[in-house]
Amino acid sequence: MTSLVSDNYVYEPTPRVLDGYSFRTLLSSESSSYSLGDYVRIAIPPVHNGFLNTANSWVNITIGDVILNGTNIVQDTPTVAGVRHSIAGVHSLIDTCSVVSPNGQFLEHTPNYQSQQVMNWINNTDLSAALPNSITNNTPDVDNTFDDFTTVNGNSIALTINAGATSANGVATEHFSPTLSCMLNGTKALPICWFASDTHLELLLTKDILNVFHNASFTAPSTIGLLTSGSCTITVEIDAMIDVVTDNSMTLIKKKAGYGSSPVSWSGTQQRSSIHSISTAELNTTGENIKSTIIGGVRPRKLLSIQQAAFVNHPSGHYDRWQCVNPYSNGSFQMRIGTQLYPPRPMESAAEMIQHVQKCYNQKSLTVTNNRLKEGFYGPRFSESGTGTIDTFRGTCGYDFCTFDGNTDGLDTTNIIIETLGGLKGLVIPAQYPYRVVTMKRFQVLYSVDDAGNVSVSY
């Protein structure tokens, strides 16, 4: 029997736009307040048909009950440099940031969080973004205190200086709302509706108040202010945006993703770092000495870029712990991945090194200022004169592997050795303390969730 309906009327309907709505909620931490060195844990529960919108979620952090101890503590003013936050802003509070899946696996794990945050910030922040970020993240604004719109100094804190200037108390509780750079930011919509139970954000707070504040006095060494110790009270919560779809829309999503027949996967990028040191003897070497370092940690299938920067834990409390330098900027820098050298010829000037680093962030442009770098404060060594400086040293070196031989997918480093070759040259004024070098890798990852709600990540 033939159909009375013409073939022209046999069709598949075009799927409708997904129906749904969004709402915001505050996710509280397990404790009402924390001290330096504490461990913060915040549960992110599954929501029926819900997705965590990571692009529009952040954390709310308060810092209160600040007590600082030291000598000649000075209130920061437009004409007198005193106690300031670090250039890392509120991020200086966090040593390690992790996102843990319901089945206990790290979906993202970021030790050396402050170092990574600063390395990203100095290379990938334009001046217009610096203004609102100075409020939300407490990172430096466009500081023209010294008639120089490129000066970078940490923001000040209002203090009551006690008699003798050996201690000070914070006047008010400070409120910040930073976006953490390790909350699965490469995933636009995290399908918490498919997770078996709570996902957790875990933060390890720094133990040392000198990682958060410094007394940036510029006076003579005999009267310079020093911070030695202190304490504060901290609160943390997640301000989350949840996107919820209807049951019909969820049916379409599951069908498109193949949910139930096999694990659902999606890609993203992460950053992970490891640490090695450069001794004072190596820093003060005569001539050029090639510092060869085997880089440990993860060896991803798709390595996108590597950066290095040097930090110093100066014992004097008038140095920002999170200022950083490129220790090889007066020497050379190159990497060996397996048997291949990247780049084939060593970088032999600060100008070359900056060009390569900016390529890591796709910021190689003549028309847009997307960094906070500056001539005179991009150098191989920190100032250790004992008097502080009117600006903050900042600089990194690195290489973007997505541009080599047209390879846009990164390098497979699973079974090969990653080695950096940095050329060190001593200066007339010797370094007084060893440097802590942070090597940051950026790589692609693959997340998966099965129909039992188990979540994993591979790289």
Specify the CATH number for the domain of residue 408: 2.70.9.10
Q: Specify if 324 maps to a domain.
A: yes
Task: Report d(CA 71, CA 175) in Å as an integer.
Answer: 27
pLDDT of residue 99: 94
pLDDT over 90 at 441, yes or no: yes
pLDDT of residue 147: 47
Q: Specify if 4 maps to a domain.
A: no
pLDDT of residue 187: 76
Residue with tokens 């005193």: 82
Task: Report d(CA 374, CA 393) in Å as an integer.
Answer: 9
Per the structure block, which two tokens stand in for 96? 């390690």
The type of residue at 139 is T
Segment 197-208 shows an average pLDDT of: 96
Q: Specify if 10 maps to a domain.
A: no
Segment 426-441 shows an average pLDDT of: 89
Domain hosting 111: range is: 18-458
Q: Specify if 1 maps to a domain.
A: no
Structure confidence at residue 153 as a pLDDT band (50, 70, 90) = confident
Residue 251 is inside which H or E element, if any? helix 247-257
pLDDT of residue 222: 46
Residue 269 backbone phi and psi in degrees, to 5: -130, 150
Per the structure block, which two tokens stand in for 334? 């190159």
Q: Specify if 5 maps to a domain.
A: no
Strands 94-100 and 20-28: unpaired
Indicate the number of domains in the chain: 1
Segment 186-212 shows an average pLDDT of: 92
Residue with tokens 């000075």: 74
Q: Which residue has the higher pLDDT, 378 or 272?
A: 272
Strands 174-176 and 58-71: antiparallel
Is 74:231 a contact under the CB 8 Å cutoff? no
Segment 208-234 shows an average pLDDT of: 79
Q: Is 77 exposed, middle or buried (0-12, 13-18, 19+ CB in 10 A)?
A: exposed
Task: Judge if the upstream peptide bond of residue 343 is cis by omega within 30 degrees of 0.
Answer: yes
Structure confidence at residue 135 as a pLDDT band (50, 70, 90) = confident
Q: Specify if 298 maps to a domain.
A: yes
pLDDT over 60 at 145, yes or no: no
Q: Specify if 12 maps to a domain.
A: no
Q: Specify if 11 maps to a domain.
A: no
pLDDT of residue 246: 92
